[in-house]
Amino acid sequence: MTSREELAQFLKKEFPQNKATIESVGERMATVRHTVGEAELRPGGTVAGPVMMTVADVALYVAILGEIGIVPLTVTTSLNINFMRKPASDRDIIGICKLLKLGKTLAVGEVTLYSEGVDEPVAHAVGTYAIPSRPR
């Protein structure tokens, strides 16, 4: 199990452009936050789709590395996202990931995305990741 602090440091160093932060990680789950400011909005006063895709992708990555340790070359192999409701323009996006499968070479997880403080989710994603084989 990898701690939130270790993962936060790893993301900061290896993904300096990433703006999502880790709220919690563990027990095959992860919660990630993305602040929403001018740069995240699109016409209609709502959050741009790629911001939510990014949150889903980061939440999956963090949930997996939280279980297997820092294996940076773990990569997304597929992502499917459904946008369900208009996100608020003045609330952060919160992504909550639950892993559905954690095999030796493949992980599958789902991410439910919320506008912070709103009950109904704004989007839902399912992603698969390939885990490189590694020495034991």
Binding mask 82-111 for a copy of itself (x = CB under 8 A): xxxx--------------xx------x-x-
C-alpha 136/C-alpha 89 separation (Å) is: 46
Q: From the CB of 14, what's the least distance to a copy of itself, in Å?
A: 5
Which amino acid type is present at position 13? K
Q: What is the footprint of a copy of itself within residues 5-34 (CB under 8 A)? A: 14-17
Given a contact cutoff of 8 angstroms between Cβ atoms, the answer to whether 84 and 124 are in contact is: yes
Nearer to a copy of itself, 91 or 124 (CB): 124
Nearer to a copy of itself, 43 or 117 (CB): 43
The CA distances from residue 55 to 42, 89, 97, 119, 135, in Å, are 16, 16, 10, 18, 30
Q: What is the dihedral of CA 10, 16, 21, 26, to 10 degrees?
A: -20
Contact window for a copy of itself (CB under 8 A) among 1-9, 23-31, 88-96, 124-132: 124-132
Classify residue 49 as left (phi > 0), alpha (psi -120 to 50) or beta.
alpha
**Residues making contact with a copy of itself (CB under 8 A):** 14-17, 39-40, 42-44, 46, 48-50, 53-54, 57, 72-73, 75-85, 100-101, 108, 110, 112, 120-121, 124, 126, 128
